[in-house]
Amino acid sequence: MKRYDNSRFNRDKHNAQQRKREHDGGGFRCSHCKQFVVINDMLMGTANRNHCNWCLWSKHLDIDKGDRRSNCHAGMKPIGLTFRHEGFGRRGEVMLIHLCSSCSKISINRIARDDPEFKVQEIFTSSPGLDTDTKRILADNDIYLVSDTDADELSAQLFGNS
């Protein structure tokens, strides 16, 4: 059988096999910081891991939530925080907002128990500096960006103090 070392098919097949081996081994390697990310629902507080707990970057794998059908596979930068929709006038849990570095898709992901609070806080403090276009994309998608007026609620959820 002829092997085409430079073909996209072989590279994609190899990458898929590598991801399966890593996942079967209890985690995956972050495409941004290269740390091995452990998947353990006892540590994470959730059954799914969709971002690195070292740098909080994600990877663009889904077209629709959980389908793993995206061809993009670019890194998704954590750009801000939002609250989960819990109904009128109620704030839910703090969520990460990710922006794909290649195609600009927006994704919202739960924060896991083992995500470092100081990293989440860094994202909060840097989010007011987002450019106008990114803020407009968030507004067009009805995504509320946590702001300084939400600092007390954020602190209560992250650190347990009110």
Edge-to-edge strand ranges of the sheet holding 75-85: 58-59, 75-85, 91-100, 106-110
| Cα 134 from Cα 79, distance rounded (Å) | 9
Q: Which residues contact 74 (CB under 8 A, 6 or more apart)?
A: 59, 60, 100, 101, 102, 103
Provide the pLDDT for residue 39. Answer: 74
pTM: 0.77
| Cα 108 from Cα 84, distance rounded (Å) | 9
Higher-confidence residue: 113 or 87? 113
Q: In the chain, what are the domain boundaries?
A: 8-159
* 92-141 per-position pLDDT tens digit: 899 999 999 999 899 999 888 888 999 999 999 999 999 999 999 999 99
Quickly state the pLDDT bin for 19 (edges 50, 70, 90). Answer: low
Assess whether pLDDT exceeds 80 at residue 149.
yes
User: Averaging pLDDT over each range in 19-28, 34-43, 110-119, which range is the top one?
Assistant: 110-119
| Cα 150 from Cα 55, distance rounded (Å) | 23
Q: At 104, is the secondary structure helix, strand, or coil? A: coil
What is the arithmetic mean of pLDDT over 27-33? 83
What is the arithmetic mean of pLDDT over 14-29? 67
* 42-82 per-position pLDDT tens digit: 655 555 677 898 899 988 877 777 777 778 888 999 999 99
| Cα 29 from Cα 34, distance rounded (Å) | 6
- Give exposure, 14-50, as e/b (b: 16+ Cβ within 10 Å): eeeeebeeeeeeebbebebeeeebebeeeebeeeebb
Provide the pLDDT for residue 4. Answer: 53
